């Protein structure tokens, strides 16, 4: 049921970190993948390594016009667009008195407005197909508050809410929308966090592959009756 042969999946921020693990797992499950990222060298190298079922598209998720171009190019390359993983994200941290408007705007633009633009860009194609799975990457920080992470937390709660409203609106069109909430996963984003200071019941921080199985599940028919759901993948961290 997790066979993705014939499906086309677009992963934003797919050139490294968690997004790269999603790309590799979706590809291994049989999907054709579009790697969309700011990182042109890394993204193109990953597409070349994966071969003919993978292409790279340069994308800044905050760029409205670029989204139209990337969706059109994806459909032109592979004929459909079945799965969107809105994964691209950034983080910044500051106590509220030191949180500049520029920092706030930057994190909201990429993490929340970028997800909105991506969802809006793929919906016409998915409606025309009568099916689709949109997987929006939030965080455990979209489920609770943490000191210093105000913009990040607001963006990730926003992604969770947007996923809920879209799931309700798009269900009748055969489009499922779910959010995924990873805990501490060791990537370039989290190198400054000491995992020993965080209580994780499963006894270790995550690696990107720990989340990839949930993405393949949500991309596939194994989750065909799942929409508007929130998947916490955190080793028990916020239990």
Q: Which of residues 157-196 bind ligand NAD (CB under 6 A)?
A: 182, 184-185, 187-190
Stretch that binds ligand NAD, among 88-96, 125-133, 168-176, 224-232 (CB under 6 A): 88-96
Q: Is 152 part of the annotated catalytic residue set?
A: yes
Q: Is 60 in the site for ligand NAD (CB under 6 A)?
A: yes
Task: Tell me the two tokens of residue 163.
Answer: 């996923």
Among 34, 50, 59, 121, binds ligand NAD (CB under 6 A): 59
Q: Is 17 in the site for ligand NAD (CB under 6 A)?
A: yes
**Distance between CA 209 and CA 200 in Å, rounded?**
17
Q: Which of residues 209-238 bind ligand NAD (CB under 6 A)?
A: none
Residue from 88, 89, 87, 71 nearest 34 by CA: 71
Please work out the total of residues on this chain that contact ligand NAD, with binding judged by CB under 6 A: 30
Catalytic position from the list 22, 56, 152, 217: 152
Q: Is 106 in the site for ligand NAD (CB under 6 A)?
A: no
**Closer Cβ to ligand NAD, 60 or 82, answer by number:** 60
Among 87, 133, 163, 220, binds ligand NAD (CB under 6 A): 87
Q: Sheet harboring 83-86: ordered strands across?
A: 54-58, 32-37, 8-12, 83-86, 132-137, 175-182, 230-233
Backbone angles phi, psi at 233, to 5 degrees: -125, 85
Q: Is 88 in the site for ligand NAD (CB under 6 A)?
A: yes
Q: In whole angstroms, how close is the CB of 94 to ligand NAD at the nearest point?
A: 16
Question: Exposed e or buried b for every residue in 77-100, given b needs 16+ CB within 10 A?
Answer: ebebbbbbbbbbbbbbbeeeeebe
183 neighbors 200 (Cβ within 8 angstroms): yes
Task: Tell me the two tokens of residue 145.
Answer: 């508050």
Among 39, 50, 107, 117, binds ligand NAD (CB under 6 A): 39
β pairing state of 175-182 and 8-12: unpaired
Q: Which residues are catalytic?
A: 152
Footprint of ligand NAD (CB under 6 A): 12-13, 15-19, 37-39, 59-62, 87-91, 110, 114, 137, 139, 182, 184-185, 187-190
């Amino acid at each position: 049921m997790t066979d993705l042969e014939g499906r086309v999946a677009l992963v934003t921020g797919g050139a490294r970190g968690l997004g790269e693990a999603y790309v590799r797992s979706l590809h291994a499950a049989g999907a054709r993948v579009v790697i969309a990222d700011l990182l042109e060298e890394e993204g193109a190298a990953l597409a070349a390594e994966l071969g003919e079922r993978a292409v790279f598209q340069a994308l800044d998720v905050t760029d409205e016009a670029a989204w139209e171009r990337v969706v059109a190019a994806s459909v032109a390359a592979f004929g459909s667009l079945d799965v969107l993983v809105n994964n691209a994200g950034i983080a910044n941290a500051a106590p509220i008195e030191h949180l500049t408007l520029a920092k706030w705007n930057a994190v909201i633009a990429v993490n929340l407005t970028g997800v909105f633009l991506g969802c809006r860009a793929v919906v016409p194609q998915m409606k025309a197909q009568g099916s689709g799975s949109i997987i929006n990457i939030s965080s455990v920080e979209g489920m609770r508050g943490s000191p210093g992470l105000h913009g990040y937390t607001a963006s990730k709660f926003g992604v969770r809410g947007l996923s809920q409203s879209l799931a309700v609106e798009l269900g009748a069109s055969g489009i499922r929308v779910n959010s995924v909430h990873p805990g501490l996963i060791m990537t370039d984003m989290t190198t400054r966090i000491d995992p020993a200071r965080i209580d994780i019941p499963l006894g270790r921080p995550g690696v990107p592959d720990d989340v990839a199985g949930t993405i393949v599940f949500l991309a596939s028919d194994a989750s065909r009756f799942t929409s508007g759901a929130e998947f916490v993948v955190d080793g028990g961290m916020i239990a």
